[in-house]
A and B are shown apart, each in its own frame.
Chain A
């Protein structure tokens, strides 16, 4: 158990819909990262938040947005969903600093029909 909690674990929805994925980081971790893993692909970095502020942005679509709340949990919002958005979405957290290690949640499997 990494200490990072993601909900829901599975989500099935239709094209054009909007969903919200939730992540609770490990206790004490201020940084939260979101990654997307499409079928048989590597993990693509979407966005990072640190203590409520956006710190880095990767290949995140304009239809996607995220935020980190004062209690440090984070939400990834995906709107106007397309078939190609079907993927495994990982949240990870880390302490600040170049120690390097990210702790990953179990992921949220999104299926868009």
Chain B
């Protein structure tokens, strides 16, 4: 079974600084997707960024980028120029190409220090 592990329950960063959230996963599949979702206090699950496993290039969305290491089964999220609005729970998630179900990690709570 696929599992997703987020080993950092909580992280904090100074406003305007850069922070990296870690995620590892376990799978025997070769075709899959990885995601980072953000859950602010409003509870809404918001997609931050997506990575296709067959793509070697790391995905980037404005201030958010990932470091995807397929061999190491690692998928970290880097947030640059952190803003107060980035404060939220961040969930890493995995989805196998042949299965539409998302498997989530337990989340990392990110605090932004003004």
Contact = CB atoms under 8 A, between A and B. Distances in A.
Interface stretch (A17-25, A42-50, A66-74, A78-86): A42-50
A100 B42 CA distance: 23
A56 B43 contact: no
B contact residues, range: 20 to 34
A39 to B, nearest CB: 12
Contacts of A102: 47, 102
A42 B105 contact: yes
B100 A31 contact: yes
Interface in B30-60: 31, 33, 35, 37, 42-47, 50, 52
A contact residues, range: 20 to 34
Contacts of B95: 98, 100
Q: Nearest 9 CB-CB pairs, A to B?
A: A104-B45, A100-B33, A42-B104, A42-B106, A43-B104, A98-B97, A107-B43, A45-B101, A56-B101
Interface of A: 2, 31, 33, 35, 40-45, 48, 50, 55-56, 58, 88, 90, 92, 94, 96, 98, 100-102, 104, 106-107, 109
25 contacts: A2-B44, A33-B100, A33-B101, A33-B102, A35-B104, A40-B107, A42-B91, A42-B104, A42-B107, A43-B91, A43-B102, A48-B101, A56-B99, A88-B43, A92-B45, A92-B102, A96-B100, A98-B31, A98-B95, A98-B97, A100-B33, A100-B50, A101-B35, A102-B47, A106-B43
